[in-house]
């Protein structure tokens, strides 16, 4: 499944109306050692560009923003017990799956090449 990226340094994987979201390697590197992930509740409604979760590190706290309007379908409960998993494997440490209200237009997001260019600026 192809990954897409947001300007807020989140990666997303889109499967129909399901959107899995996590933080990029770059975001995790900037945060440093992650000590806590505030997970949303299943069935919470989320709006595009609104925060629905936060990730705390020893250096700072970063909000996680929804890329779409929808409902939280699933959360990665492993991050409750092992927030450091996000440091170990950001690409696998997804935070939540959102069931989007509408079809997701992936052209609204960056592909990997565009994201690499974005963070190089």
Name the 3-class secondary structure at 23.
strand
On whether the CB atoms of residues 43 and 71 are closer than 8 A, the answer is yes
pLDDT score of 7 = 96
Average of per-residue pLDDT across 111-115:
97
Domain annotation for the chain: domains and CATH numbers: 3-103+110-120 (2.40.50.100)
On whether the CB atoms of residues 80 and 55 are closer than 8 A, the answer is no
Calculated CA dihedral for residues 45, 109, 83, 25, nearest 10 degrees: -170
pLDDT score of 78 = 97
pLDDT score of 100 = 98
Q: Model confidence over 40-91: pLDDT tens digits?
A: 999 999 999 999 999 999 999 999 999 999 999 999 999 999 999 999 999 9
The residues near 88 (Cβ < 8 Å, ≥ 6 apart) are none
Average pLDDT, the chain: 96
Side by side, which strands form the sheet with 51-57? 34-38, 51-57, 61-65
On whether the CB atoms of residues 106 and 14 are closer than 8 A, the answer is yes
pLDDT at 1 over 80: no
């Amino acid at each position: 499944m192809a990954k897409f990226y947001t300007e807020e340094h989140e990666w997303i994987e889109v499967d129909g109306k399901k959107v899995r979201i996590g933080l990029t390697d770059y975001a995790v590197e900037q945060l440093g050692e992650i000590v806590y992930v505030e997970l949303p509740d299943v069935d919470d409604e989320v709006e595009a560009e609104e925060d629905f979760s936060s990730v705390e590190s020893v250096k700072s706290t970063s909000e996680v923003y929804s890329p779409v309007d929808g409902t939280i379908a699933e959360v990665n409960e492993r991050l409750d017990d092992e927030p450091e998993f996000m440091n170990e494997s950001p690409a696998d440490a997804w935070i939540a799956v959102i069931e989007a209200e509408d079809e997701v237009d992936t052209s609204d997001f960056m592909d990997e090449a565009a994201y690499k260019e974005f963070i190089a600026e």
